[in-house]
Structure 1
Amino acid sequence: MAKIKSIQIDGENIFYFNSAIYVFHANSGCTLQLDIIVSEITIKKYTDRESHIIEAELENGSLVTSFMTVNILPGRIPHLNFVSEVEDADEFRELPAVHENDLDFPDIEQGITLEDIRKVEMPYEKIALKLTLPIDQAEWLQQKTKKELNAIFKEMIEGRMK
């Protein structure tokens, strides 16, 4: 596999955990494919549009630039797949070729866990709770700021998870 030194999406450098870039040969034609393991935050950022300009700098110094469509691949960790139709596969000679019946398909998820990814970039989710409480408890909660409530719930949940 060709080693990637850096990746830019729409001109912005991104942090990724692992990657593979290759030319995929199928009966229907050839495609340039870039698979990358990223954080859940990066997934949300780049799936708002269907197509992006991708620049991948390889360790040998060459630059692969293409207008590519994005797919989210199902799995246990965040995985983006960028695809672009290729007219002439020889244009990407420095990249490995993968055929649709190959058993040696790149496995970029190997050795990476969701926990490892979340240590680098933890996503946050807003949630709404509906509680039925005695009026004095409800008034006490209403007097707290959002920051105080977040700290209370975080401490309570972390104490339960241990």
Structure 2
Amino acid sequence: MAAVKTVKIDGEIIHIFNSVIYIFESHSGFTLELDLIVSEVIVKKYKQEQTLIIEIELEDGRIIDSIMHLKTLSGGLPQLNLFCDLNDIDEYEDFDRVDENSSWFPNVEDGITLEEIRKVEMPNEDVSLKLKLPIDQVEWLKKQKKKDLNEMFTHLINEILKK
């Protein structure tokens, strides 16, 4: 069974929490499939892309360079499904094979939690609040820098969450 050591997307090494690489066999041919559990930041960065230049380094030292198609899967943990058609499968003898009728299918999410992923890379999101405040507080808020407000609210919310 082949195991993934590292993955580069467009030349950039990404942090992977778990991965499964296998051959999917269908009536139309063979597909190399790479399922990756990654951070929400990585999914957000690449989810609009259709194809990516991928370099996969396997544990045994082999390198697979390919242009792969991308599917992002919603629900569950943040993951990418990369795939490309294969014409010659001889060099992939040690890869697991799966077809539509297989009783076994790789579960890339096994043993990983979203909390563990967020400890490595926590996504940040913009949020807008609509508040009704006295005018003097509104004036004070408007004078503050965005960076300072972000730090203040992060600290305040973290203190509330500790209780």
> Scaled by the length of structure 1, what TM-score is found?
0.92
Cα offset, 1:88, TM superposition: 2.6
The answer to which of 92-101 and 33-42 deviates more is 92-101
Q: Which residue identity is paired with 2:17?
A: F
Cα offset, 1:74, TM superposition: 2.2
Equivalent position of 2:18 in the other structure: 18
Equivalent position of 1:77 in the other structure: 77
Unmatched segments (≥5 aa) in structure 1: none
Unmatched segments (≥5 aa) in structure 2: none
Equivalent position of 1:127 in the other structure: 127
Cα offset, 1:98, TM superposition: 1.4
The answer to which of 115-124 and 96-105 deviates more is 96-105
How far apart in 2 are the matches of 1:12 and 1:154? 30
The number of residue pairs the alignment matches comes to 162
Equivalent position of 2:66 in the other structure: 66
Secondary structure of residue in 2 paired with 1:21: strand
Equivalent position of 1:86 in the other structure: 86
Secondary structure of residue in 1 paired with 2:65: strand
- 1:80-102 deviation digits (Å, cap 9, x = unpaired): 00011112322422322112211
> Scaled by the length of structure 2, what TM-score is found?
0.91
Cα offset, 1:151, TM superposition: 2.3
Q: Which residue identity is paired with 1:135?
A: I
- C-alpha RMSD over aligned residues: 1.5
Equivalent position of 1:42 in the other structure: 42
Equivalent position of 2:98 in the other structure: 98
Secondary structure of residue in 1 paired with 2:150: helix
Equivalent position of 1:160 in the other structure: 160
Secondary structure of residue in 1 paired with 2:155: helix
- 1:49-92 deviation digits (Å, cap 9, x = unpaired): 21011111111121222211000012321010001111232242
Secondary structure of residue in 2 paired with 1:75: coil
How far apart in 1 are the matches of 2:12 and 2:142? 42
Cα offset, 1:8, TM superposition: 1.2
Equivalent position of 1:139 in the other structure: 139
Q: Which residue identity is paired with 2:81?
A: N
The answer to which of 70-79 and 44-53 deviates more is 44-53
